[in-house]
Amino acid sequence: MSKTNVARLLKQSDVPFDLLSYTVDEEDLSAQNVARKINYPLSSIFKTLVLETDQKQHIFAVISGEEELDLKAVALALSTKKVQMVPMNDLMRLTGYIRGGVAPIGAKKTFPVLLSDRAVGQSYMIISAGKRGWQIKLAPDDFLTFTNGILFTNR
């Protein structure tokens, strides 16, 4: 089993998970493509987006592959006026991860985690393991507990 930082940290904390692998297509890093390659429904694939508030605070927003991020919903959840996506060129510097491999666990810096309430009621969710070609399957409750995550409604 290839060890990613995410897998190592979850294992150290006795959080049950499965490590899934797939062949990376550099031309298509979409959640839809990941779902197809690992043969799981798109609703179970969660993508991690890095945002910045108007107070320059960084946040991980974790949303279902079926969703588009509603920046106003995130701002509302954080009680801030405005949030925006972090430029792709800043991902590595801020998180230690590259596009297509950003994980809300094991990043260079710990940021607050918002999880779409679409994860509620699902027996599992699948997130990046921190490397392209690797995904982690775990229970949404375990994810929320491990990350001290906050549920939000992504309208």
Q: How many other CB atoms are found less than 10 A from the CB of residue 23?
A: 7
Amino acid at position 134, single letter: W
Give the DSSP per-residue string, 127-139.
Answer: EE-SSTTEEEEE-
Question: What is the per-residue pLDDT across 6-50, written as a single tens digit (0 to 9) for each?
Answer: 999 999 999 999 999 999 988 888 999 999 999 999 999 999 999
- Kindly state which CATH superfamily the domain 5-146 is placed in: YbaK/aminoacyl-tRNA synthetase-associated domain (3.90.960.10)
Question: What is the per-residue pLDDT across 48-96, written as a single tens digit (0 to 9) for each?
Answer: 999 999 999 999 999 999 999 999 999 999 999 999 999 999 999 999 9
Classified as helix, coil or strand, 137 is strand
Domain range annotation of the chain: 5-146
